[in-house]
Amino acid sequence: MPCFNAQQTVMRAINSIQSQSMTDWELIVVDDGSEDQSANIVADIADKDPRVRLIKKPHEGVVAASNAGFEVSRGTLIARMDADDVSLSTRLEKQCLALANDSNLGAVSCLAHFAGDADTAGGYAHHVNWANQQSNSEQINLNRFIDLPFPHPTIMYRREMVKDYGGYRHGDFPEDYEMILRWISAGASIGKVNEYLYDWHDPPSRLSRNDSRYDMSAFHACKAPHLSQAISHCGLQNRELWIWGAGRPARKCAQALEDAWKPAAGFIDIDPRKIGRFIHGKPVITSAQLPTIDQSIIASYVGTRGAREKIRDELLATGRVEGRDFWICA
Q: What is the CATH number of the domain that holds 25?
A: 3.90.550.10
C-alpha closest to that of 283 among 264, 311, 296, 298: 264
Mean pLDDT, the chain, rounded, equals: 95
Q: 78 by DSSP, 3-state: which?
A: strand
Is residue 205 over pLDDT 70?
no
Is residue 207 over pLDDT 70?
no
Indicate the residue among 193, 214, 235 that finishes a domain: 214
pLDDT in tens, 240-293: 999 999 999 999 999 999 999 999 999 999 999 999 999 999 999 999 999 999
| 293 shares its domain with 162 | no
pLDDT in tens, 78-89: 999 999 999 999
- Looking at residue 300, its pLDDT comes to 98
pLDDT in tens, 122-170: 688 999 999 999 999 999 999 999 999 999 999 999 999 999 999 999 9
| 18 shares its domain with 150 | yes
Outline where 215-328 has alpha helix (H): 216-233, 248-260, 307-317
| 187 shares its domain with 137 | yes
Average pLDDT over residues 197-215: 80
Q: What is the CATH number of the domain that holds 277?
A: 3.40.50.20
| 54 shares its domain with 114 | yes
| 239 shares its domain with 252 | yes
Q: What does the alpha-carbon distance between residue 194 and residue 134 come to, in Å, rounded to a whole number?
A: 9
| 291 shares its domain with 199 | no
| 146 shares its domain with 248 | no
For 285, the domain range is 217-328
C-alpha closest to that of 149 among 104, 196, 110: 110
Indicate the residue among 185, 214, 243 that finishes a domain: 214
The domain tally of the chain equals: 2
Please state, for a pLDDT cut of 90, what percent of the chain lies above it.
92
Burial of 82 from C-beta contacts in 10 A (0-12 / 13-18 / 19+): buried
Predicted model pTM = 0.94
